[in-house]
Structure 1
Amino acid sequence: MTKRIALATSAEHAELPPTDLPLVDALRTAGLDPVAEVWTDPSVDWSAYDAVLLRSVWDYHRRYDEFTEWLARLDKAGVPVLNDSGLVRWNGDKRYLLELRERGVAIVPSQVAAGACLHEVVSGLDGQEIVVKPTVGATALHTVRGVAGSTELDQALAELPEIVYLVQPFQPEIVADGEWSLIFVEGEFTHAVIKRAAAGDFRVQSDFGGTVTPTDPTPVVLDGARTALEAVGPTPTYARIDGVVVNGRFLLMEVELIEPELFFPQYPQAVDKLAAAVAARL
C-alpha cells in the first residue's frame, strides 16, 4: 500500500508555501501520498498517517508549549516525525548552542539570560554592540541590536517580554559578507546560499528585505558546517546549518532542524534528494 505522509504546516500556510510545492510532486514520484495538514487543526487524525514531515510550521515558536504537546501526542500514537521528535525538541531551544560548544563546535559567543537577569548580563557588556534574541524564536521576533548601556538599547530591552534570551556580540561580518546557510540531506551536503541583509539592516530574512544568493562554500565553511552537524548526534533527515565567517573561522549561528527554508528554488535537485530520503526512512 502507498504510505501516506502528512506535511505539517501552519494555518497561515494551509496549502503550503509555493517553495514547497515541488516537494509534493517529488514525494509522489517517490511512491508516497503527501497531504498538507495544519498542525494545530484538532480535527486531523494523525494516526491515519505513516509519518509526519515538518515543513512550514512557522508559528511553532509562538505556541511552543502547544507544539511540544502535539509532538508528544504523535509519539504516543506511534507516528514517526521527520525530523525525529527528540531532535526537534532539542533544537527548539537555542540553548543547544552551548551544548554544541561543549562538543567542540565553534559558535558565535553566547550567554543565556532569563527574565530579570537579562539586564544584569547586558550591563556586563557595557559599550559593546550586541544582539539579544529569544532562545525559542524565529524570524527575528523579539530580536534587538544595540550598544550595551545605551539609552536606545535599554528602552528596547524594557519592551521585551520576560522570557529566556541569548546575548551575543554583534558580528559585523553578517552585514559585510553575509550569513551562510548550508543544506544537508541525510548528512550529505547538497547546496549552500549566502543571505544578505537589506541596506541599513542586520536581519537577513526575506521578511526584512534580505536576499539569497546560491554560492559554493569554501572548505572552511563546509568543514565548519559538517563539524556542527556531526556534533548534533543522530543524523537528521534534513538540516540547515547557519553561520558566519569571522577571522577565517566558521562560527555556528544556528542548526535548523524544525521548519527551515531549504532554498529549493536555488537548487531544485535537493527536492528529489529529500523525497528519496523520506521514502527510505519509511
Structure 2
Amino acid sequence: MTTIGFLACETTLPLPWGGIGDRRGDAFEHDLMTAALEPAFAQANLTLKVIDWEAPLDHFAGLDLIILGTAWNYQDKPDAFLAKIGELEARGIPVCNSAEVVRWNINKTYLRELAKRGAATIPTRWFSNVSQADLIDAFAAFDCDRLVVKLQVGAGALGQVLIHSEALPGADWRFGHAAMVQPFLPAIAEEGEFSFIFIGGELSHALRKRPAKGDYRIQSLYGGIESAYDPTTEELAAASAIIAAFPFAAPLYARIDMLRGSSNSLMVMEAELIEPYLYPEQGPQLGDRLACAILKRLEL
C-alpha cells in the first residue's frame, strides 16, 4: 500500500477527545477534505496519513508522497515551514507542492511576476510598511474611496485592513508589516470571487464565493457562502492563463482566485499553491482526480 502524508497543524487537527477546544473556526474544512480524500484514495490503493507538519522527522518515515494539506499556520513560521519541506525532500520524499513552488508562492510579490508575464492582476502598490502618507498617495493613484491593505505573507484575510478615504488612520499610524495595497473592488460584494481548482494542470471544478451581508471577506471564518459554478469558455481561459504563467510546470494542485474588473474580464487575486482549501463539496470528484494525479506522479 502506498502511503500519502497529509500535513495539518495544531489548530486544524481534530482533538483526541472529539471536542472543539482551540481548533480554528474553519477547521471543519480540514474534516471535509480528509473525508473526501480517504475513500477515493483507498479505491486507488493509497492510504492517507494525517500528520502535524511540525512533528519530528522520524514521524514521516514510510511516506511515499506528502500533500501540504491544512498546514494553515505556516505563515506564522514561514522559515521553519520551508526548512521542514526542504528536509523532507532531502530524505527523498516528494512534497506537493514542492519547496520550489512554496518559496515562489509564499510572498504575494509573486503577483508582480505574474503581471510581467502578462497575467491580468489587480493594481497593487508594495511597501515594506504602510504609513498614512502611503495611503493618501494610493487613494490618489487608484482614484478610489476604499483601500485594502494585505500582508505580503499571509492567508485567509487574517491581518487584512479595509480603509475608507474619509476615515484615515492618524499621522503616526503604521501597518507594521510588509504589505500590499489595492483598491477595493465592489465586485467582491456584488458578484463574488471565483475560484478555479486545478489538479495536475487540468480544471477539476469551479465555485463562486460571496461574503456575508455587510462584509467583504469571502472566507468561511467570516460567514462567506460558496456555490458550485460552471465557468464560461472565456473564464476558464483566463484562469488557465494564470497556470500557464507560472515559472514552473503546473503543480499537483492549484486554486486560482479571481475577481471581475471594470472591463468585465477576470483578474487574478491569488494563485493559491501552498495549502489551499480545495472545496470538495463543490467538486465531488476531487478525491478521485487527486488520487489519479498522485499515481501519475509516482508512476504507479
- TM-score, L = length of structure 2: 0.87
- Is the 8 Å Cα contact of residues 82 and 103 (structure 2) preserved in structure 1? yes
Find the aligned partners of 2:60 and 2:214 in 1 and give their Cα distance. 45
Q: Percent identity?
A: 35
Find the aligned partners of 2:288 and 2:163 in 1 and give their Cα distance. 42
More strand by share: 1
Deviations 1:35-67 (A, max 9, x none): 100001236532431221111111111221221
* Residue 275 of structure 2 corresponds to residue 262 of structure 1: no
- For 2:36, the equivalent position in structure 1 comes to 22
Structure 1 letter corresponding to 2:294: V
Find the aligned partners of 2:65 and 2:187 in 1 and give their Cα distance. 40
Alpha-carbon distance, 1:261 to partner: 1.3
Q: Which moved more, 1:23-32 or 1:52-61?
A: 23-32
Find the aligned partners of 2:40 and 2:172 in 1 and give their Cα distance. 45
- Is the 8 Å Cα contact of residues 27 and 279 (structure 1) preserved in structure 2? no
Deviations 1:124-181 (A, max 9, x none): 1236311100011111111011224x4x442599374x22111111111111110000
- Is the 8 Å Cα contact of residues 131 and 173 (structure 2) preserved in structure 1? no
* Residue 207 of structure 2 corresponds to residue 208 of structure 1: no
What SS does structure 1 have at the residue aligned with 2:67? strand
- TM-score, L = length of structure 1: 0.92
**Counterparts of residues 95-244 of structure 1 (less than 5 Å):** 95-115=109-129, 117-126=130-139, 128=144, 129-148=146-165, 150=166, 152-154=167-169, 158=173, 160=175, 162-232=176-246, 233-244=248-259
Unaligned runs of 5+ in 2: 15-26
- From the superposition, tell whether residues 207 and 159 of structure 1 become closer, same or farther in structure 2 (CA, over 3 Å): farther
- From the superposition, tell whether residues 77 and 118 of structure 1 become closer, same or farther in structure 2 (CA, over 3 Å): farther
Give the count of matched residue pairs: 277
- From the superposition, tell whether residues 157 and 126 of structure 1 become closer, same or farther in structure 2 (CA, over 3 Å): farther
- Is the 8 Å Cα contact of residues 145 and 153 (structure 1) preserved in structure 2? no
Find the aligned partners of 1:156 and 1:19 in 2 and give their Cα distance. 45
What SS does structure 2 have at the residue aligned with 1:122? helix
